[in-house]
Structure formats: structure tokens, C-alpha cells
Amino acid sequence: MSELVQLTKIDGIAVVTINNPPVNALSAAVSAGIAAAVAQIEKDDAVKAVVFIGAGRTFIAGADIKEFGELTSGKIICRESLKPLLLRIEDLRMPVVMAIHGVAFGGGLELAMAGHYRIALPSAQVGQPEVKLGIIPGAAGTQRLPRLAGVAKAVEMCAEGAPLKAEDALSAGILDRLVEGDLMTAAIAFAKEVAAKPAPKTRERSELGTPEQNAAIFAAARETTRKKQRGLLAPLAAIDAIEAATTLPFEQGCQKEEELFTKCLFSDQSKALIHAFFGEREVAKIPDVPKETPTHGRRHRHGFCQRGNSGAPQGNGSGRARSRLGQHSEKLCQLRQAWPFHATVRRRAPQAHQTDVGLQRIRERRYGYRSGF
């Protein structure tokens, strides 16, 4: 059993705890730990129900994005699919309850949808935000979500990537119950309640609407996507994958999803957006400046520093800027000179230039200045 995943038993209820701080990313090691826990549960006839829960501040915030980067760069040859493991969970003979707090995003929601029941704290959120990285759900998310929430809601969530609050997820049919108080206690109680009930498999649900209804939904979604997300591959691929869920059996729909996922993952757009994702993290880190350093709310209208002919940092309104950021201003200038993000993004995918705006906003909020590049 992996240290990242623990299996315990409480009153005949098996509890699988994912403990991969800070956000319980669904890495290959976590998947292996879950598989080992499922193997033990399959052999234990005394288990009446199963609870999956996240340790710390959240359920599962998504897949380990570093693994995607390693895959596209050739550092790893292949990444084991999560789909077979989710099928094993869904095929367990006893009910499986997914207990959600914090967020269940990406692979976290895909794992939750493989369970038979889902409960959550009112503060929780769920979502499929993969399109923000230029990819689509790759572990049957586009196939299970429309079976739970309906085609229109699945298209909205997968093509736009916006999160859904717990109350809205309950109304949409993604969640079965909202609970108050201690999540573990509530999950054990709910598991005991459903232990003798049938274990409904999400993939076997067939409430997917009529072809006429779905045709209108997909046409409207594609038109909106071409206007609001012009030139981007992933949103249209997500719509295509969900459409496959309405026209193909589950297994064939998963194959279509896999094809579209792979195409998106190895696209220049995905590589650029994943690069931007890590860039946003790195740009917020300044060597030797502790996290608790106060930030400033005021902004400069002009660029903070620019490279002169000599290559040295030069300030626009540098007196004011340096007085506001004090001893950390030089660190910011050095970071900007060393960071080749913008040229890389524009070279790889011209459509991804909007990520510049995201980086600029992060700098404004965190450091109190408007970037000039």
C-alpha cells in the first residue's frame, strides 16, 4: 500500500484516504495506491461499503500536470490510463461513496463519477477545467458527466471549464447529497445507509436526451465556442467527445475521447498552455522573498522595468516603483529578464497569447504593479 493512499475499516466500511499534499493530485503513484486498495477490498467479503475521501484541505484537485509535460516532451514514453481503474471501482460489488470537500476537478471529478454515490460539503466545488490547459477530460469524464448532469450541462462544464458550486452540482445530478459537519462522520453514516441498496453504475445510465434535442445543443455550443474561444482546439474537441457519448456505446465513446485527448495533448496549444500554467507558478516565486511578504494594492500605469541597450534593468517611474517594492524590486527585474515565457507561447501557439493577460493580472494582484511586457 502506498503512503499516498491509506486503507482503513470502520464498522464494516472500507475507507480509502488519498493523502498527496497539498492538493491530492492524482499522480501515477496515487493511482497505483488506489489500485492496491481496491485489490484488497475486492478480496474482503466483510466490507459492506466503501468511502473515498481526501486528506487535508481537498478531495482531488486533478491529475498531476507534470506528467503531461513529461509525456509530450518524451521524458516518459506512455502514461497508464486511469480508465481501467475507474471501471474496477465502478464494478465493485458493494456501494462506493465519494466524499468531497474542497474541490473535485479534472481527474478528481472523473474518479468521483466512477463511484455509485457522491456526497459533499456545501463549500465544495466540482469541475472539468482541462480546456484551460488545451486538453479535454481523458478518463471517461466526457462520457460519464452527460449521463449524470445531462448533455447541456456537460457541454458547458467541459467546453468552458468553469467550476460548479456544490449546490448547483446537486441540482444538476452530479451530487446525491450535501452534508454538514465532519465529512468523515457523514460519509460513514451515508455508506451504512446505502450499504444494502443497489450500486448504480454511472456508465449504464441512459438519460441522454433525444437526437433532435442534442443536435440543437451541440450546434449552439459550437457556434458559441467559435466566437468566444476562437481558434482553440480543446473546447470543440470536448463537444465532439460529449457528442460521441450520445451516439456511441460507452466503450466506443471512451475510445473517441482517447483519440481527441491525445490529439489535444500533443498540440502546440496544449504545450503552450501547460507551459503558461507552470509559468504562472514560477513568476509568483521570488528567491529569498518569503511568502508572507506584504504585497501592494496600487498599480503603475507603465511597465515596471525594461531592458535598455546595455541589458541592464531600467525603470519607468523607477523611483516610485522602487520605493513601493523596496528591496524586492531588483528581484522582480531579474525574474522578468530571465523568464522567456511570452516569446515561447507566441511561437508555439499564437492563439494562446491571451495567457499574457493572466500573468499580468497575477503580477498586479500579488506585487502591485502593471507589467510592461
Known active-site residue 180: no
Q: Which of 1, 185, 187, 19 is nearest to 95 (CA)?
A: 187
| Residue 88: how many other CB atoms lie within 10 Å | 16
Contact 246, 151 (CB under 8 A): yes
How far is it, in rounded angstroms, from Cα 101 to Cα 111? 14
Q: What are phi and psi of 24, to 5 degrees?
A: 55, 45
Exposure of 12 by Cβ count < 10 A (0-12 exposed, 13-18 middle, 19+ buried)?
Answer: middle
Q: Retrieve residue 58's grid coordinates.
A: 481537498
CA-CA distance, 263 to 256, in Å (whole number)? 11
**Does residue 292 have an active-site annotation?**
no
Q: Which of 130, 160, 243, 257 is catalytic?
A: 130
Catalytic residue among 3, 42, 70, 110: 110
Residues carrying an active site annotation:
110, 130
